[in-house]
Amino acid sequence: MTNTAERYFYTAGADLGVTPSAGPAGTLSVSLASDTPAATTIPQNAARVGFTKLRLDASGGDAVSDSITVKRTGASANANFSDIILLDNSDNDTQIGSAKTLSSQDDTVFNDDITVKAGTKYLTVAANMASTLNAAEVARLEVTAVAMKSGTLSVTLPVAGNAMTMNATLTIGVATVAVGGLDPSATTQRVGKTDYLFSSFKVTAGSAEDIEVSQITWFENGTAGDDDVTDLELVQDGSTVLATVSKPTAKYVIYNVSPKIKIPKGESREFSIRGDIKSGSSRTVDFVIEKSTHLVVKGLKYGYFITPTYPNSADPRFNPSDTTTIGTGTLTFSKDPITSLNVASGGNGQVLGKFKTTVEGESINVTRLVIYASSSKALSNLTNLTIFDSAGAAVLGPIDPTVRASGSFDGRATSTDTVVFPTGTAVYTIKGNLSTTYANNDTIQVGVAAPAATVTAKGSVTNNTLTPNPTTDVTTDTVTVKAANLKVTTNATPAAQTIIVGTNAFTFAEWTFDASDAGEDVRVTAIKPKNTVGTANTEDDVVNQQLFTVSGSTETALQPIVQPTEGTATTTFTLSTPLTITKGTTVTIRLKGDMSANAGTSQTYSFGISGQTGVVGIGNVTASSVTPTVTDSTGQAMTTASTGSFTVATDASNPTTSALAVSGQAGFVMGEIRFTATNEDIDITEVHVTTTAQNAGVTRN
């Protein structure tokens, strides 16, 4: 366990009850890095001053240190040091854990677990200097002890960097932090709010030198969880996005600014954090600068890091009154389109409309919802309004609408059923029963009546009452009452062509069955194509006739396979399983058959559908008979032949007579010819080529 303020700086352990697989523990070698800071003088108020740079090498596996003890040595008072810190040079010089103060024994212990993966890692023991230094005193910060949590240790102690001399006269730059002009007041913001500016501060450079900002660490000091706020942007001066972090990690948001932001002496720059509120109703968001070192600033003239001057002398150092309270979830209703705008008179469970709910923050419990209903017939003919979710489960109703005023065809249906709308976007369908009073071209429209005024809703987590959106009626598509209608037309494909006798599975005809204007699905039970033949009594030449539905390149066979009768033009396909054509859609039907090898040549066969009796169907809901609208056609004539043929011609890519060949050249193209097959595939087994020598040449090979 760790305290909330510092848990980001500790290595996370495994979840309770989970035993992680442990790899082999390595050996950790600790030594002084070759580029440890050189001896120099240190001014007052300097921050992140490197004293000793450590090289940590893990071999044979990962190694984890448990603690590192640092001791101040040399002719120096501890008062020269505000605090001691550890910097991870392998992670943008990020500070590890909390700053420490020196004890009366001149030492301090960093108890943070530090994992060194197999390889090399660099750390720097650094210090934030006091505002007043004892001139000319000399100090070192050396590592005097390392304890291991995992692995073995190899080190020669102490590991000491160079001695640093205190300078009490040099005045380095100043960085003053204050509340920014864009900082908001404390407010309540709804879940789902995007690009909200949570907090803002300005940094002003003093008169001594220009400064630059390289890292900003925000701490979320409220009660919100890491997943409650997302897409967090660091924004400069209200417009320039410097960096983006997806969400806090253990409440911390660290921005490494690249390129670094220069602030000329005497000038200011404002830095804001803004993002999206995704969840967390009733929780608070309060972004602060917690530690004095969480704003990394460096002077550009003297080259020292600077400890900024903050509004607060204790943690959190920057904490304006800009706490954001996350409000309740939101519920918005909107229209969703339906695939068919036609319904059937007398039909039950007819799809009358669809709507969407968009819920953010928390799922919403609705205990009152009013369905809007309008009809060109009296509303008493519209009953059992029911709302279904996307899985087809009824979630509300059935309820009947009542008119709003006597003689009106406009009304409402009020439900007090409890419905839980989940977070995210969900689609719901309103269905109802129509009486047979509805006639062709009557219309119906439904929806959700003025949600803001009629829907009673509470957050399922917070139990807070909320006002749904919008304030106006959410009306769905208007549906029109239509009969069970079906249109049948003969397609132009396949075109009239020659068929070789003995060909199997040949496509003789295609039709389009169109239910786009139907009020209900149409169930086709029989199809009766007519074969118009050129020679009497040859109808039985086309055998093994079968119908298929066609979708793209996919054919689905319809049963049964039918054999024709000589002298009978019409073949009746009584479908073993009726074909259901969904209202609002079309289906392509294909007729295939085998051309008998005994058929004569130059005979024609044309398949078409003529008259209302050519297709038999009923309404899928009302079971009423369908009288199809058939565009009469005899189809395209297919003419028989005994064999196919092919032609031979010079291809357009044949080389010209001016083409030159080099003696000894292999693969030279002498000529190109084109073979064209007609009526059937042709297998060419031999090609005889004749060559003629030109200009006294000799032909060979």
Predicted confidence at residue 11, as pLDDT, reads: 40
Exposure string of 118-136, with b = 16+ CB inside 10 Å and e = fewer, is eeebbbbbbbbbbeebeee
* 402/473 same-domain check: yes
Q: What is the tens place of the pLDDT at every residue in 495-507?
A: 999 999 999 999 9
Residue 137 or residue 674, greater confidence: 137
* 342/356 same-domain check: yes
**β-pairing verdict for 305-306 and 268-277:** unpaired
pLDDT of 45 > 70? The answer is yes
Predicted confidence at residue 1, as pLDDT, reads: 40
Per the prediction, the chain carries an average pLDDT of: 90
Chain-centroid distance of CA 384 in Å reads 38
Predicted confidence at residue 243, as pLDDT, reads: 97
* 322/335 same-domain check: no
Residues 6+ apart with CB under 8 A from 15: none
Query: What percent of the chain is modeled with pLDDT above 90?
Result: 76
The answer to whether 281 and 224 are in contact (CB under 8 A) is no
Phi then psi dihedrals of residue 482, to 5 deg: -135, 155
Predicted confidence at residue 10, as pLDDT, reads: 41
pLDDT of 47 > 90? The answer is yes
* 427/472 same-domain check: yes
User: How far is the C-alpha of 621 from the C-alpha of 617, rounded, in Å?
Assistant: 12
Predicted confidence at residue 460, as pLDDT, reads: 85
Predicted confidence at residue 406, as pLDDT, reads: 67
DSSP 207: S
In a domain, 360, yes or no: yes
Q: What is the mean pLDDT of residues 574-592?
A: 94
Among all chains, which residue has been given the structure tokens 């595939």? Answer: 681
Residue 623 or residue 1, greater confidence: 623
**β-pairing verdict for 187-189 and 324-326:** parallel
pLDDT of 541 > 90? The answer is yes
Residues 6+ apart with CB under 8 A from 619: 344, 483, 484, 519, 520, 521, 522, 523, 625, 626
Predicted confidence at residue 253, as pLDDT, reads: 98
Q: Which of 613, 641, 669 is the last residue of a domain?
A: 641
Q: What is the mean pLDDT of residues 586-607?
A: 94
Predicted confidence at residue 701, as pLDDT, reads: 55
- How many C-beta atoms lie closer than 10 Å to residue 245's C-beta? 18
Report the number of distinct structural domains present in the chain: 4
Predicted confidence at residue 301, as pLDDT, reads: 95
Predicted confidence at residue 14, as pLDDT, reads: 45
- Torsion sign, CA atoms 457, 460, 463, 464: negative
In a domain, 683, yes or no: no
User: How far is the C-alpha of 380 from the C-alpha of 2, rounded, in Å?
Assistant: 67
Maximum distance among all alpha carbons in the chain? 125
Residue 614 backbone class (left: φ over 0; alpha: ψ -120 to 50; beta: rest): alpha
Predicted confidence at residue 250, as pLDDT, reads: 94
User: How far is the C-alpha of 443 from the C-alpha of 445, rounded, in Å?
Assistant: 7
pLDDT of 589 > 60? The answer is yes
- Torsion sign, CA atoms 607, 611, 613, 616: positive
Q: How far is CA 694 from CA 83, 654, 671, 699, 701, in A?
A: 102, 18, 15, 9, 16
Predicted confidence at residue 8, as pLDDT, reads: 39
* 218/149 same-domain check: no
pLDDT of 517 > 90? The answer is no
User: How far is the C-alpha of 9 from the C-alpha of 201, rounded, in Å?
Assistant: 24
Predicted confidence at residue 694, as pLDDT, reads: 65
User: Residue 422: is the preceding peptide bond cis (ω within 30°)?
Assistant: no
Phi then psi dihedrals of residue 540, to 5 deg: -85, 10
Predicted confidence at residue 420, as pLDDT, reads: 96
Grouping H, G, I as helix, E, B as strand and the rest as coil, residue 381 is helix
In a domain, 679, yes or no: no
- Supply the CATH number for residue 47's domain: 2.60.40
| Number of alpha carbons in the 13 Å side-chain half-sphere of residue 116 | 30
In a domain, 666, yes or no: no
Q: What is the tens place of the pLDDT at every residue in 628-673?
A: 999 999 999 999 998 766 687 777 777 776 666 677 777 777 778 8
Q: What is the tens place of the pLDDT at every residue in 373-401?
A: 999 999 999 999 999 999 999 999 999 99
Residue 107 pLDDT class (50, 70, 90 cuts): very high
- Neighbouring-strand partners of residue 576: none
Q: Which of 481, 503, 525 is the last residue of a domain?
A: 481
Residue 2 pLDDT class (50, 70, 90 cuts): very low
Q: What is the mean pLDDT of residues 448-474?
A: 92
Of the candidates 540, 512, 536, 534, the residue with the CA atom closest to the CA atom of residue 524: 512
In a domain, 115, yes or no: yes
pLDDT of 325 > 60? The answer is yes
Q: What is the mean pLDDT of residues 234-245?
A: 97
Amino acid making up residue 427: V
In a domain, 692, yes or no: no
In a domain, 100, yes or no: yes
* 344/297 same-domain check: no
User: How far is the C-alpha of 606 from the C-alpha of 612, rounded, in Å?
Assistant: 19
Q: What is the mean pLDDT of residues 522-542?
A: 93
* 15/158 same-domain check: yes
Q: What is the mean pLDDT of residues 420-440?
A: 94
* 118/17 same-domain check: yes
DSSP 321: S
Residue 178 pLDDT class (50, 70, 90 cuts): very high
Predicted confidence at residue 489, as pLDDT, reads: 95
Predicted confidence at residue 644, as pLDDT, reads: 66
* 453/560 same-domain check: no
Among all chains, which residue has been given the structure tokens 């600014």? Answer: 257
In the structure encoding, which two tokens stand for residue 563, read together? 């054999």
* 18/153 same-domain check: yes
Q: What is the mean pLDDT of residues 561-570?
A: 92
| Number of alpha carbons in the 13 Å side-chain half-sphere of residue 507 | 16
Of the candidates 99, 90, 85, the residue with the CA atom closest to the CA atom of residue 33: 90
Q: What is the mean pLDDT of residues 204-228?
A: 96
Q: Count the helix, strand and coil residues of the chain and give each as a percent rounded to the nearest 5.
A: 5, 50, 45
Q: Residue 126 belongs to what domain range?
A: 7-167
Q: What is the mean pLDDT of residues 217-232?
A: 96
Q: Among 302-311, 371-380, 444-453, 666-675, whose mean pLDDT is lowest?
A: 666-675
Q: Which of 463, 481, 499 is the last residue of a domain?
A: 481
- Strand blocks (E) in 264-393: 268-277, 284-285, 287-288, 295-299, 305-306, 324-326, 330-336, 342-343, 350-360, 364-375, 382-388
* 179/156 same-domain check: no
Residue 45 or residue 647, greater confidence: 45
- How many C-beta atoms lie closer than 10 Å to residue 554's C-beta? 8
Predicted confidence at residue 83, as pLDDT, reads: 94
Q: What is the mean pLDDT of residues 452-479?
A: 92
* 11/159 same-domain check: yes
Predicted confidence at residue 695, as pLDDT, reads: 63
In a domain, 47, yes or no: yes
Query: What percent of the chain is modeled with pLDDT above 70?
Result: 94
Phi then psi dihedrals of residue 592, to 5 deg: -125, 155
User: How far is the C-alpha of 646 from the C-alpha of 301, rounded, in Å?
Assistant: 90
Grouping H, G, I as helix, E, B as strand and the rest as coil, residue 380 is helix
